[in-house]
């Protein structure tokens, strides 16, 4: 069922802005968040990246700015600079489409602090920023927390992972008790629950269930790496699948730099996202991503969380992640909005337990290799283990049937081994006959 923005209590100016943004109707998360946000409810919103979550809170926030009050009224807190920059760009776009005279500022680390403090002498209506720099500006009274009536905390579970939740605690502690608080997170880890209990009174819990594990349009492919260079394997796979945009995941920023350089040596157009980028590089990369400059983007999990990269047709796991949730976050970047997508994962022996866990959650992997420029179906990743287990079972059964001799003579071990092999062959024949009989039934 389609839901239209005209059904919400939004101003004519905001509806005109939404029309200029090209939004025809609201997404599920927007439909459920906007009415409650406009009424001032505290909200806990759970949804994956790409569901329209950002505008679910930006639309009501911006519509309720009082431009006659030249003071900071709304604040959006994000765990990473990249995500803050992306949201700030969305706010700037909305300002450019508005007839209203409201203002916004980006408050993040890695920028000229004194210069930013001078710009903040005239308080912006909306602040987008990271916890540390926002807290720093509150402590120096550059930001006045008493004027803020709404606060959004985005990608809250990542704040736990990065150890930033204490800074957010310090920020909210300085605000009025009745400040509207909206927390958005893909998951609600146990470490986040005390914070939610402390600051959100009677929250509306909104959860958007999406089948990110195995939507029909998403194919999961496994390729054994077997000590081959992953950059060469990605290039070989790309020649077969011709990605529109491929998002390539690694586990560490050092690995991201290394792999990006290797892929560029192979002649590929590569962008990179990780926490070690300088502020100017971050800004340029985000701009390039929005303009679809790169066909390949190498990223770490933390840096890519929350950043909306349009048009991702393929996800490559150059390195398998450390846990199931990270895999789900990664592959959820493709096969969106009814489009097809493929997740290609290169694995080694150490990754088999993770693969087994993912299969137990319902993910169906297709097993392939690339040989002579073609996809070649290969046996399932655990086929060898099954064969080894079957072989061990046969050995044990055969050994039990070997007649043990009371008197030990020279060469008895060799004779018993030969007898064991003979019994094992008979057992295999019996298994084959039974299997053949079942097929004929």
For 239-294, write each residue's pLDDT tens digit: 999 999 999 999 998 999 999 999 999 999 999 988 787 777 877 887 887 788 89
Query: Band of the pLDDT at 186, cuts 50, 70, 90?
Result: confident
Higher pLDDT, 182 or 324: 182
pLDDT at 365: 92
Measured at the CA of 31, the angle between CA 25 and CA 34, to 5 degrees, comes to: 110
- Segment 12-38 mean pLDDT: 93
pLDDT at 308: 73
Architecture field, domain 218-377: 3-Layer(aba) Sandwich (3.40)
Tell me: pLDDT of 67 over 80: yes
**Whole-angstrom distance, CA of residue 143 vs CA of residue 134:** 8
pLDDT at 287: 81
- Segment 87-109 mean pLDDT: 90
Lowest mean pLDDT among 39-53, 281-295, 359-373, 423-437: 423-437
- Segment 56-76 mean pLDDT: 95
Higher pLDDT, 340 or 367: 367
- Segment 399-427 mean pLDDT: 68
Q: What Cα–Cα distance (Å) separates residue 70 from each residue in 90, 93, 104, 115?
A: 21, 20, 11, 20
pLDDT at 382: 62
Alpha helices in 309-348 (DSSP H): 324-331
Tell me: pLDDT of 387 over 70: no
pLDDT at 383: 63
Tell me: pLDDT of 133 over 70: yes
Tell me: pLDDT of 441 over 80: no
pLDDT at 127: 97
pLDDT at 408: 58
**Whole-angstrom distance, CA of residue 391 vs CA of residue 396:** 9
Burial class (CB in 10 A: 0-12, 13-18, 19+), 374: exposed
Tell me: pLDDT of 43 over 70: yes
Tell me: pLDDT of 29 over 90: yes
**Whole-angstrom distance, CA of residue 338 vs CA of residue 278:** 36
Tell me: pLDDT of 394 over 80: no
Q: What is the mean pLDDT of the chain?
A: 86
- Segment 30-46 mean pLDDT: 96
Share of the chain above pLDDT 70, in %: 86
pLDDT at 315: 93
Higher pLDDT, 333 or 250: 250
Q: Does the global pTM surpass 0.75? A: no
Tell me: pLDDT of 187 over 90: no
**Whole-angstrom distance, CA of residue 150 vs CA of residue 200:** 12
355 φ, ψ to 5°?
A: -60, -45
- Range 5-207 classified under CATH 3.40.640.10: no
Mention every residue, 6+ apart, whose C-beta is less than 8 A from residue 251.
Answer: 300, 301, 319, 321, 322
Copy the structure tokens of residue 111: 């920028």
Which tens digits make up the pLDDT trace of 291-313? 888 999 999 987 777 677 778 88
Cα R_g (the chain), whole angstroms: 28
pLDDT at 338: 53
The β-bridge relationship of strands 180-185 and 246-250 is unpaired
**Whole-angstrom distance, CA of residue 400 vs CA of residue 424:** 11
Helix (H) or strand (E) segment spanning residue 210: none
pLDDT at 391: 62
- Segment 306-330 mean pLDDT: 86
**Across 19-28, 101-110, 129-138, 303-312, which has the greatest mean pLDDT?**
129-138
Tell me: pLDDT of 215 over 60: no
Handedness of CA 298, 301, 304, 310 (dihedral sign): positive
**Whole-angstrom distance, CA of residue 228 vs CA of residue 369:** 12
């Amino acid at each position: 069922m389609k839901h239209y923005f005209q059904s919400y209590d939004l101003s004519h100016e905001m509806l005109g802005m939404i029309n200029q943004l090209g939004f025809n109707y609201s997404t599920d998360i927007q439909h459920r968040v906007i009415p409650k946000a406009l009424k001032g409810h505290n909200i806990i919103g759970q949804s994956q990246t790409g569901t329209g979550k950002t505008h679910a809170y930006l639309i009501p926030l911006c519509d309720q700015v009082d431009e006659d009050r030249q003071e900071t009224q709304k604040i959006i807190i994000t765990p990473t600079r990249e995500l803050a920059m992306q949201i700030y760009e969305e706010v700037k776009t909305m300002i450019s489409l508005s007839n209203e005279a409201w203002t916004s500022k980006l408050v993040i680390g890695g920028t000229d602090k004194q210069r930013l403090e001078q710009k903040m002498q005239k308080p912006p209506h909306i602040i987008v920023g990271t916890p540390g720099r926002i807290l720093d500006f509150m402590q120096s009274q550059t930001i006045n927390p008493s004027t803020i009536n709404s606060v959004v905390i985005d990608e809250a579970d990542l704040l736990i992972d990065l150890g930033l939740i204490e800074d957010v605690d310090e920020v909210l502690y300085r605000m009025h008790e009745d400040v509207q608080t909206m927390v958005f997170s893909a998951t609600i880890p146990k470490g986040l629950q005390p914070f939610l209990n402390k600051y959100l009174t009677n929250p509306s819990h909104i959860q958007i269930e999406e089948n990110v594990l195995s939507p029909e349009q998403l194919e999961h492919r496994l390729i054994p790496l077997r000590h081959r260079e992953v950059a060469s394997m990605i290039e070989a796979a790309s020649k077969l699948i011709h990605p529109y945009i491929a998002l390539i995941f690694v586990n560490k920023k050092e690995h991201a730099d290394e792999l990006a350089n290797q892929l560029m040596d192979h002649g590929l157009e590569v962008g990179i996202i990780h926490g070690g980028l300088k502020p100017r590089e971050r800004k340029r990369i985000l701009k390039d991503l929005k303009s679809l400059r790169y066909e390949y983007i190498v990223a770490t999990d933390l840096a890519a969380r929350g950043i909306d990269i349009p048009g991702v047709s393929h996800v490559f796991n150059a390195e398998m992640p450390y846990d199931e949730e990270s895999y789900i976050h990664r592959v959820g970047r493709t096969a969106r909005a009814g489009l097809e997508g493929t997740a290609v994962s290169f694995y080694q022996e150490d990754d088999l337990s993770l693969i087994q866990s993912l299969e137990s959650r319902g993910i169906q992997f297709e097993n392939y290799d690339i040989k002579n420029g073609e996809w070649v179906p290969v046996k399932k990743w655990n086929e060898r283990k099954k064969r080894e287990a079957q072989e061990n079972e046969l050995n044990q059964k055969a050994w039990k049937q070997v007649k043990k001799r009371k008197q030990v003579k020279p060469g008895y071990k060799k004779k018993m081994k030969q007898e064991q092999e003979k019994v094992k062959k008979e057992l295999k024949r019996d298994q084959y006959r039974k299997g053949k009989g079942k097929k004929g039934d």
